[in-house]
Amino acid sequence: MFANDNVILRMQGIVKEFSGTRVLDKVDFDVRGGEVHALIGENGAGKSTLMNVLAGRFSDYQGRVTFDGRQVRITNPRQAREMGIAIIYQELSVLPNFTVAENIMFGDEKAGRWTRKLDRAFINAGARDIIDYLGFDLDPERKVGRLSKARQCLVEIAGAVRRKVKLLVFDEPTAALGSEDVDKLFEVIKDLRSRGLAIVYISHRLAELPLIADRVTVLRDGRKVGARQIHECQISALTRMMLGHDLVEFFPEKRNKPGKTILKVDGLSRAGVFENISFELREGEILGIAGLVGSGRTEIIRAIFGADKARGTVLFHGKPIVGRSPYLCRALGIGMVPENRKQQGSITGRPVSENLNISILGRLSGVLGFQSSRRLKSQARLMIERMKIDPPFPHAGIENLSGGNQQKVIVGRWLAAESKVIIFDEPTQGIDVGTKSQMYRLIMALARAGRAIILLSSELIEITKLADRILVIRDGRLVREMQGAEADEDSLFAECVRKDNPE
């Protein structure tokens, strides 16, 4: 394939403007064969625009692109694909009603000699060759729409490899994946790197980068801030490069005074995922749960909320929650803001008013149980004003709101329900810095008002700056408890990756 020192892609002085506004300002970027090069930056930094230039979506760019030793002018997506460039977007482009083989071999189907029927033996055999080459566990004849998101991603990767891809871009690939799927994806990426492919890895999860990347380039406001070998970087330094300053100033001062225990977890276990998790949560406390992707942290809080089954006991106000389920937890006063707000948190296609009020419809119904449109809108307007949701329209479809405002709607739902415990899983994922600051202040205000908060975040600085106590989860086990005051971003990351010495 490619030598490790072989530069497959070199972009020099790339400039792109939209309506006179410069969104890329003389950006340089390169990737070598057999390398994973991370590209990071805040929303609007220019990451996606730069990759869309590479993908041929914008032909009116300025600058020079050299690919596989030749200077090229990429003017359309077909040209980029034929050159050997493929992008795996967060929203996958697989065809759900087609089989795995049809997706992998799309564009190369062999027709029968005298009929227009597809030669399925040829398609299935060709797909099987690629699947076996990559070592994927996929059935060529299975409909892609019946596969998990992670396996759909494998299908798209297989299709790219079949087209003799030379450079593969992963755009936020882990955003919608569970921990086991993330582990598998990382194995696949490492295998592709070992085969000599040049790989660009875009992610907002800085803690992932040391696990998968060799180098990292940081963009800010359309400009390249710098490039580093990943082993030379601390997470805090990357944060400063992305923002131009420390993130500390965005966090409110801690003034929480935790009260009595409201939630107790005792011996929570799920075979092969997490084991013997025990802790207490107090009123007015922010409890941070830190761990790398794949550590089992999300699975633990889903089990507490009753979304997944697990052994062990969860007590609320000293009483066991028997038959845990999201419905029962919601009724008791436990709410959860999930990691994947689009698939698990919001009701796509329904207005903001319904998304805000879904947890209190019984309270807003009339004497005969019918929903009152007037009450729904009135309650929604109160929460829209409280949460500063923009645009401030109860009838607006939630899918038409920005990511940050969608998140505000989901948080507002649990405030409307007067939840006493609120679990936040990646509350600032995919939202801009200004909205992040609002979310930090909201979480702190909830704790000061006596609500008990469980906070999970891949941005470790959020854990260290907001949490009163921190639990470190490693390989499904609770390995350390820290006071928030004693932890910083780098020491917490060290705890997350530390390997215990064998006894």
The pLDDT tens digits of the residues spanning 289-299 come to 999 877 899 99
Mark whether 262 and 327 lie in a shared domain: yes
279 pLDDT exceeds 60? yes
Residue 1's pLDDT is 38
Residue 342's pLDDT is 59
Q: Which residue, 418, 436, 460, sits at the end of a domain?
A: 418
| E strand segments, 194-333 | 198-202, 215-220, 223-229, 261-270, 274-282, 286-290, 311-316, 319-320
Mark whether 413 and 427 lie in a shared domain: no
Mark whether 35 and 171 lie in a shared domain: yes
pLDDT tens for 158-210 read 998 888 899 999 988 876 666 667 788 898 899 999 999 999 999 877 878 99
pLDDT mean over 215-243: 89
Look up the domain containing 82 and give its range. 7-249
Among candidates 241, 108, 175, 242, which has minimal Cα distance to 428? 175
Angle of helix 403-416 relative to helix 373-387, nearest 10 degrees? Answer: 120
pLDDT tens for 100-139 read 999 999 876 554 444 456 778 888 999 999 999 888 889 9
> Which pLDDT band holds residue 451 (cuts at 50, 70, 90)?
very high
Select the more confidently predicted residue: 179 or 242.
242
Q: Is residue 103 part of a domain?
A: yes
pLDDT tens for 456-465 read 998 888 999 9
Hey, which of 161-175, 265-279, 479-493 has the most confident mean pLDDT? 265-279
501 pLDDT exceeds 80? no
> Which pLDDT band holds residue 246 (cuts at 50, 70, 90)?
low
Mark whether 128 and 202 lie in a shared domain: yes
Phi-psi region of 166 (alpha: psi -120 to 50; beta: other; left: phi over 0): alpha
pLDDT tens for 252-263 read 777 778 899 999
Q: How far is CA 377 from the centre of its chain?
A: 32
Q: Is residue 26 part of a domain?
A: yes
Q: Is residue 338 part of a domain?
A: no
Residue 18's pLDDT is 84
Mark whether 232 and 375 lie in a shared domain: no
* Strands 223-229 and 334-337, sheet pairing: unpaired
Count H helices, E strands: the chain?
Answer: 17, 20
pLDDT tens for 50-96 read 999 999 999 999 999 999 999 999 999 999 999 999 998 877 788 99
Mark whether 319 and 423 lie in a shared domain: yes
Out of 186-195, 259-268, 362-371, which region has the weakest mean confidence (pLDDT)?
Answer: 362-371
362 pLDDT exceeds 70? no
Q: Which residue, 356, 390, 418, sits at the end of a domain?
A: 418
> Which pLDDT band holds residue 365 (cuts at 50, 70, 90)?
low
Which amino acid does the sequence have at 63? G
Q: Which residue, 249, 269, 288, sits at the end of a domain?
A: 249
Q: Is residue 445 part of a domain?
A: yes
> Coil, strand, or helix at residue 500?
coil
> Cα separations (Å) of 56 from 53, 74, 78, 494?
5, 5, 8, 40
Q: How far is CA 89 from the centre of its chain?
A: 12
The mean pLDDT of the chain is 85
428 pLDDT exceeds 70? yes
% of the chain beyond a pLDDT of 70: 86
247 pLDDT exceeds 90? no
Mark whether 395 and 362 lie in a shared domain: yes
Angle at 178 between CA 194 and CA 316, to 5 degrees: 150
Neighbours of 401 (CB within 10 A): 20
Q: Is residue 339 part of a domain?
A: no
477 pLDDT exceeds 70? yes
Q: Is residue 89 part of a domain?
A: yes
Residue 20's pLDDT is 85
Angle at 254 between CA 252 and CA 260, to 5 degrees: 135
Query: Which CATH number goes with the domain that contains 280?
Result: 3.40.50.300
pLDDT mean over 384-400: 77
% of the chain beyond a pLDDT of 90: 47
> Which pLDDT band holds residue 349 (cuts at 50, 70, 90)?
low
Mark whether 297 and 371 lie in a shared domain: no
Select the more confidently predicted residue: 503 or 331.
331
Mark whether 232 and 314 lie in a shared domain: no
Mark whether 71 and 209 lie in a shared domain: yes
Mark whether 74 and 206 lie in a shared domain: yes
The distance in angstroms from the start CA to the end CA of the chain is: 43
Q: Is residue 216 part of a domain?
A: yes
Mark whether 351 and 300 lie in a shared domain: no
> Which pLDDT band holds residue 345 (cuts at 50, 70, 90)?
low
Q: Is residue 340 part of a domain?
A: no
What is the count of structural domains for the chain?
3
